[in-house]
Structure 1
Amino acid sequence: MKKIFVLSGLMLVFSLKAQFSVTIHAPADFKEQEGILYTLSGSKDIIVTKEQNKNNSWVFKYPKGYSGMMKVYFPNTNNTVSFISENKNVEIKLETQNNKIKNVIYQDEANNLMNNIQEYSQKKELILPALVQIKEYYKDDADFGKALVKEMGNLSGSNIIDQTKHPFVYYYNTNYNKYLSNNAAKKVSTDEIVDFFDKSNDMLESSSLVRPILVAYLNNAGNSNVGSSVDKLLDRLKVETPRGQTVLSELIDIFDVYEMTELKNKYLTLAKNLKCTITDRLATTLKANANVEIGAVFPNYKFHSPVNTVAKTIADVKADKKIVVFWSSTCSHCETELPQLLAKYNELKAKNIQVIGLSLDSDKDSYTKKIIAFPWINDSELKGWNSSYAETYNVHATPSYFILDANNKIISKPDHVGDVLTYLNVK
């Protein structure tokens, strides 16, 4: 018994140690303190841990095995660095300027390989076709002609990846090239994609391939067959399984993004009615949608740096009705729609209707210049799509509108500014 006790103690000690670590080095003038490490589940970033700057470095210890996409987000400077893990130590050096990352130097073998392959693939897809056209104007024996032939030869080849040595690099690039590359030898069938989702290993969820391959699957199915194709996929995967629930969650979000309301509601209802244990990924989707259902109380939000108000939160804003609009200074649709809201702003105020703009900007100058023209309440975390309210309010596109009553209940979710004005009788 004593030997078993000692062995168990040793196992406990080893279990407390990191499986691998992620180390990021930055210049001394990079004014950032906190770093947040994320893993990936489908298209959802999952927070793992937070670390503070120590001697211009951040060291994150990951306690278990993980192969897939990761990222570190620096919230104070709104910088993100993405990389992969193959269950081995990761080391990265950042080059920065004015608190912005200008270059990322991967110092571990897996990320260096992945980065080189990505650069090669981009050149092959974008540059090689142009070189083929330019080649027609130069003779093979000319100096530039020889250089063109050499570069075309380099780009026409393929990268050979040792699957046993770099399993995730192999997995990602093999499946990207098969299902998503513009230069794919043939268009894969819907049956092949169903087989891929059914038989792929656990690296699928952490690969960032789930959503784009699902979109490719829906496109292959054609507009008239989307519902039956989704049913076919979910029947194979079984929605009671973790893989099935991840795919179901992604599909709900996809239908939301593309305003395919009928299909979104169908599969959201399916998810709500599941009697099995719900995965964290699907639970997140269910919660975000529940937050913004018609009749739900709009989740309160504490303003960050609001203008045109002394209110501290959305709930503090007193009005008969409130229009909450999520927008961005770089959004072309916002450029078209918000001036229409501005033109009716005095009429809205006369009806005791307040407008609250929550921006998904990340550039302070761009945001500050834009809100000069908007007399309503404006606020922004200046974190882009990393803003907390993107997930809380299930925002997938800008502009997005919500109309609240005096008690902050959601009474309408208009698709466009014209629908907002019609609903409020100010068109």
Structure 2
Amino acid sequence: MKKVIFILSLLAVNSYEAQFKINVEVPSSFTPKEVYLYTLNGSKDVLNSKEIKKGNSWQINVSKPYSGMMKLYFPETNASINFISENKDVKMKFETEKDKIVNIDYIDEANYVMDQMQDIQKKKEYILPALYQIKEYYKTKSDFATALNNEVLRLSNAAPDLSKFPFVAYYGSNYNKFLEKNANKSAVTHDQIIDFLTKSNELLESSSLLRPILVAYLNAGSSASLSADVDKMLKAVNVETPRGQTVLSELIEIFDTYAMQDLKDKYLTEAKNLKCTINERLKNTIETNINTEIGATFPNYVFNRASNTKAKSIYDVKADKKIIVFWASTCSHCEAELPKIIEKYSAIKGLKGEVIAFSLDSDALAYENKAKMLPWINDSELKGWNSSFSDTYNVHATPSYYILDGHNKIIAKPDHAADVISYLKLN
């Protein structure tokens, strides 16, 4: 009996040991203390853990098995690093310039091979076609022509040995099949993509390939039959399964991003009407959309660094109408549209209204230089698209607008500044 208890104790201890470890070495001049580790589910980053720097490195233990894309995010500088896991130890180091990450050195073998493979993929897509064209003009036996021909042969045949790296092999082969830009390849078909989606293992969700392959599917057919094509795919993947629900969630967000409102509404309604157990991914998509529909109460946000107000949150702002704007200093459309709102700002105030603008900037100086010229309430987390309100308020593009009433209920979702002005009858 004692022996059995001893064995069970060992199993319990081992269950708490890390599946693998991530070691990140940094220069002493790199100031961030904290790092967030993310795994991937489709196109969504999923927070795995947080860790504090010890000396000049981070040591992160990953407790559950995981193969696929990962990301390290340093919130203090809004910097990030993408890498992979083969469910084995990861090691990297990098150089910095004024807290900006440069020259990442992937030391573990899997990430080194992945980096090498992606470099070859880019050269095949963007450099090799140009070399083929140049080669047509150098058919002599000159040294340059020989070197050019050798480079063409090298890139054409270059391929690292992936036999020891199942995730890298999975990513490479499916990227080449479905996404590689190659004029000599036959166009991928709907049936090929459906076959892949239904038969692929769990690496699909962690590979970063799912969304671009879905976009490839949507682009492969006629726009006239798009809804029928999507119905065909969803029937094949089965929306009552986790895979099918993740695909459905991705499609809803794709349609939202590209302003395909009719299709978004159709498949969001389908998602809402499901009677089966819903996975976390689709549940979040449904909730985010419900919370930002016309008639819903706009979720509150506690200000981070708000200017031009003493209010602590959106709900604290007293106004009969609140115009919520999501923008960025690097957004050319914002540059064209925000002046139209500035021009009408006095009139908006005359209606007892207020403008509350949230920036998806990451550069503090760029944000501050622009925000000081905007007369309304401004705030930003300075985390770019990692900002919390991009998910909370279902923001896929800038500028984006909401109009709230005095009770913070959403009464309009204008597409452009002109629509805001028209809704408020300020033309």
TM-score (norm 2): 0.97
The equivalent residue for 1:277 is 277
Amino acid at match of 2:192: E
State how far apart, in whole Å, the 2-side matches of 1:299 and 1:103 are. Answer: 41
Check 1:6–1:329 CA distance in 2 against 1; reply closer, same or farther (3 A cut): same
The equivalent residue for 1:234 is 234
Amino acid at match of 2:399: P
The equivalent residue for 1:268 is 268
The structural deviation recorded for 1:143 is 2.9
The structural deviation recorded for 1:162 is 3.0
Alignment partner of 1:291 is 2:291:
yes
The equivalent residue for 1:175 is 174
Is the 8 Å Cα contact of residues 161 and 169 (structure 1) preserved in structure 2?
Answer: no
The equivalent residue for 1:348 is 348
State how far apart, in whole Å, the 2-side matches of 1:145 and 1:376 are. Answer: 62
State how far apart, in whole Å, the 2-side matches of 1:106 and 1:48 are. Answer: 21
Amino acid at match of 1:101: I
The structural deviation recorded for 1:289 is 1.0
The structural deviation recorded for 1:222 is 2.0
The structural deviation recorded for 1:221 is 2.4
Is the 8 Å Cα contact of residues 323 and 402 (structure 2) preserved in structure 1?
Answer: yes
State how far apart, in whole Å, the 2-side matches of 1:20 and 1:394 are. Answer: 34
Alignment partner of 1:60 is 2:46:
no
Check 1:4–1:270 CA distance in 2 against 1; reply closer, same or farther (3 A cut): farther
> Mapping of 1:9-408 within 5 angstroms?
9-138=9-138, 140-163=140-163, 165-183=164-182, 185-408=185-408
State how far apart, in whole Å, the 1-side matches of 2:130 and 2:209 are. Answer: 28
Is the 8 Å Cα contact of residues 140 and 149 (structure 1) preserved in structure 2?
Answer: no
Is the 8 Å Cα contact of residues 116 and 160 (structure 2) preserved in structure 1?
Answer: no
Amino acid at match of 1:297: T
State how far apart, in whole Å, the 1-side matches of 2:162 and 2:146 are. Answer: 31
State how far apart, in whole Å, the 2-side matches of 1:215 and 1:137 are. Answer: 37
State how far apart, in whole Å, the 2-side matches of 1:332 and 1:141 are. Answer: 50
| Superposition RMSD in Å | 1.3
Amino acid at match of 2:368: T
State the secondary structure of the residue aligned to 1:425.
coil
State how far apart, in whole Å, the 2-side matches of 1:132 and 1:213 are. Answer: 28
The structural deviation recorded for 1:147 is 2.2
Amino acid at match of 2:349: K
Amino acid at match of 1:169: V
State how far apart, in whole Å, the 2-side matches of 1:158 and 1:94 are. Answer: 27
337-346 vs 394-403, which moves further:
337-346
Amino acid at match of 2:166: P
State how far apart, in whole Å, the 2-side matches of 1:256 and 1:133 are. Answer: 40
State how far apart, in whole Å, the 2-side matches of 1:115 and 1:81 are. Answer: 12
Is the 8 Å Cα contact of residues 300 and 315 (structure 1) preserved in structure 2?
Answer: yes
The structural deviation recorded for 1:5 is 2.4
The structural deviation recorded for 1:137 is 4.3
State how far apart, in whole Å, the 1-side matches of 2:177 and 2:67 are. Answer: 20
Is the 8 Å Cα contact of residues 36 and 72 (structure 1) preserved in structure 2?
Answer: yes
State how far apart, in whole Å, the 2-side matches of 1:68 and 1:289 are. Answer: 28
Is the 8 Å Cα contact of residues 37 and 73 (structure 2) preserved in structure 1?
Answer: yes
The structural deviation recorded for 1:73 is 0.3
State the secondary structure of the residue aligned to 1:205.
helix
Unaligned runs of 5+ in 2: none
Is the 8 Å Cα contact of residues 303 and 314 (structure 2) preserved in structure 1?
Answer: yes
The structural deviation recorded for 1:19 is 0.4
The structural deviation recorded for 1:160 is 4.6
The structural deviation recorded for 1:107 is 0.4
308-317 vs 204-213, which moves further:
308-317
Amino acid at match of 2:23: T
Deviations 1:272-306 (A, max 9, x none): 12222211111111121122111111111111111
State how far apart, in whole Å, the 1-side matches of 2:399 and 2:174 are. Answer: 34
State how far apart, in whole Å, the 1-side matches of 2:260 and 2:105 are. Answer: 41
State how far apart, in whole Å, the 1-side matches of 2:264 and 2:139 are. Answer: 57
187-196 vs 336-345, which moves further:
336-345
Is the 8 Å Cα contact of residues 117 and 160 (structure 2) preserved in structure 1?
Answer: no
State the secondary structure of the residue aligned to 1:119.
helix
Deviations 1:329-388 (A, max 9, x none): 111211111111111111111111111110001111211121232111111111000001
Unaligned runs of 5+ in 1: none
Deviations 1:231-280 (A, max 9, x none): 11111111111101100100110111111111111111111122222111
State how far apart, in whole Å, the 1-side matches of 2:148 and 2:368 are. Answer: 47
State how far apart, in whole Å, the 1-side matches of 2:4 and 2:239 are. Answer: 41
Deviations 1:381-400 (A, max 9, x none): 11000001001111111111
Amino acid at match of 1:41: N
The structural deviation recorded for 1:136 is 4.0
State how far apart, in whole Å, the 2-side matches of 1:306 and 1:8 are. Answer: 55
The structural deviation recorded for 1:145 is 2.5
Check 1:129–1:341 CA distance in 2 against 1; reply closer, same or farther (3 A cut): same
State how far apart, in whole Å, the 1-side matches of 2:126 and 2:89 are. Answer: 33
State the secondary structure of the residue aligned to 2:310.
coil
The structural deviation recorded for 1:216 is 0.6
State how far apart, in whole Å, the 2-side matches of 1:162 and 1:129 are. Answer: 25
